Amino acid sequence: MHPPSRRYIPPVRTEIVEMRCRSALNHTRGYGFEWTLNAYSGCAHRCAFCYVRSYEQRADRPCDKRYGTVVRAKVNVAEVLRSELERPSWKRDSVSIGGGSDPYQAAEGRYRLTRACLELLAARRNPIDLLTRGTLVVRDVDVLQEAARRARLNLCLSIPTLREEVWRRTEPGAPPPRQRLRALTMLARAGLRVGVAIAPVLPGLSDDAAGIAEVVRAGRDAGATHLWSDLLHLPRGTREHFLGCLREHWPALLPRYECLFAGRAWLPRAERHALDLHVEAARERYPLRRRRVIRPPAEPEQLALSI
């Protein structure tokens, strides 16, 4: 581990801009899921490694330190989603929530757009994949329970590391990892099947065996039933900002990253293999416990879409 600088990072004010969207469900390929839903555009968590910075750059929006200072709330997203779910062509494919903007960032406390969308998906018995760093997710335990009873709910808390300095420098707007673990405990005690996403793992900062094992053990103790991991991805737009973060806080690591990501956005396969070995060793040392969780009934009742 390379020691970070101790430079103070002042809080950042986020402006919320209300907007209307034309579509709620977005079709995508190459990410392991076909449909995404984001009630917000932009994310106040401002993670240094967020790959969405790349999309922001292509849309000619700020992807540097200004990213996350403006969040756009799609105030009609639930209304649009309702109409899309009612289409005869919709086959109840799984919908991924949280891939492009955190569904439980602070704006959700005011707008409740994620909750409204979850209610609609649950009423339609639609499978859901939900990923968040936001502890506000515990507010919606009731609708999450309903979603889990009626269809498959894959719920994950993103906890890349428990190291406070790495969290502060790379996830400056996100809740502390220990708070996310407490949220995971509350969700698990409510009977939900909830996992841990150890992603992204950062070379030289959070990729060592001890750091990975620490997250796996904490997740196991909090009640996680599953986990997955992934490495850092630095597409254009994200790359420039993240390397700038290294230059400011961990300058000794910069040459290594410039070598690892020379001419590529993904890390070499050898790095993936090393991570897999660390994760499997941690799984064996701290096996996740099987628990009784909410299951959908064998023959779910037909529910009217009247939220």
Strands 15-19 and 226-231 turn out to be unpaired
Residue labelled with tokens 């922001």: 56
The reported pLDDT for the residue numbered 294 is: 59
18 closest CA partner among 151, 89, 111 = 111
Domains along the chain with CATH numbers: 15-285 (3.20.20.70)
pLDDT tens by residue, the chain, 307 residues = 444 444 444 457 899 999 999 999 999 876 667 899 999 999 999 999 998 888 788 788 878 888 888 999 999 999 999 999 999 999 999 999 998 999 999 999 999 999 999 999 999 999 999 999 999 999 999 999 999 999 999 999 999 999 999 999 999 999 999 999 999 999 999 999 999 999 999 999 999 999 999 999 999 999 999 999 999 999 999 999 999 999 999 999 999 999 999 999 999 988 989 999 999 999 999 999 766 555 544 433 333 332 2
N-terminal to C-terminal alpha carbon distance within the chain: 50
Query: What is the per-residue pLDDT for 61?
Result: 84
- Model pTM? 0.89
- Longest Cα–Cα distance of the chain, Å, equals 59
pLDDT of residue 238: 94
Task: Using alpha carbons only, give the angle 34, 306, 194 rounded to the nearest 5 degrees.
Answer: 45
Would you state the pLDDT for residue 32?
Answer: 66
Please tell me the predicted confidence (pLDDT) of residue 295: 57
Q: Which amino acid is at 157?
A: L
Question: How confident is the model at residue 60, as a pLDDT?
Answer: 80
Query: How high is the pLDDT of residue 168?
Result: 96
* Burial (Cβ within 10 Å: 0-12, 13-18, ≥19) of residue 86: exposed
SS in 3 state form for 131-178? EECCHHHHHHHHHHHHHHHHCCEEEEEECCCCCHHHHHHHCCCCCCHH
Q: For residues 275 and 231, what is the distance between their CA atoms, to the nearest angstrom?
A: 8
Say what the pLDDT of residue 222 is. Answer: 97
Beta bridge partners of 128: 95, 153
- Alpha carbons 68 and 45: distance in angstroms, whole number: 7
Residues 6+ apart with CB under 8 A from 96: 31, 33, 35, 36, 37, 129, 130, 131
Q: Give the pLDDT confidence score for residue 56 in this predicted structure.
A: 80
Rounded Cα–Cα distance for residues 171 and 20 (Å): 28
SS3 193: coil
